[in-house]
Amino acid sequence: MTFHVERIDHVVLRCRDLPGMVRFYEQALGFNVERKLDRISLVQMRAGASLLDLIAAERPQDAANMDHLCFRIEPFDRDAIVTRLAPFGISVGETVERYGAEGNGPSVYFHDPEGNQIELKGPAASPAH
């Protein structure tokens, strides 16, 4: 079995001014706060069928601010993911239930050849708020 990418599920941005970024996305683009995880300073905002996650993070002025990019795949089959990425020398992290645009579902992380963190996310086991 193999899998295909359906869409972008979410993007996570590191922010120096979290409240200011939330205001910007609310006012400029009409996004709504869907949920907050205060213990890790994360705000998840609804962006149509996707999410934009904003996380408070100190970073140097010239440092990248994307934490990771998440693609929604179908079906979620860990063995197929591992098999497909192995020829590229990519190792896949553990499968964990994580929250995404559709709700909680299985996901794995890995890094692309340029070092960008990528998440592949399967269908939700429980729906989003």
- Return the CATH number at 57: 3.10.180.10
Can you give the residue range of the structural domain that contains 43?
A: 4-127
Q: Are 73 and 5 in contact (CB under 8 A)?
A: yes
- 7-20 residues labelled b (16+ CB within 10 A) or e (exposed): eebbbbbbbeebee
- Number of folded domains in the chain? 1
pTM over 0.75: yes
Query: Which pLDDT does position 39 carry in this prediction?
Result: 95
Q: For position 129, what pLDDT does the model report?
A: 66
Q: What is the pLDDT of residue 2?
A: 86
Mean pLDDT by 10 residues, the chain (129 residues): 91 92 91 96 95 87 85 96 92 96 95 88 83
Quick one: tokens of 13?
A: 């941005």
- pLDDT on residue 27: 92
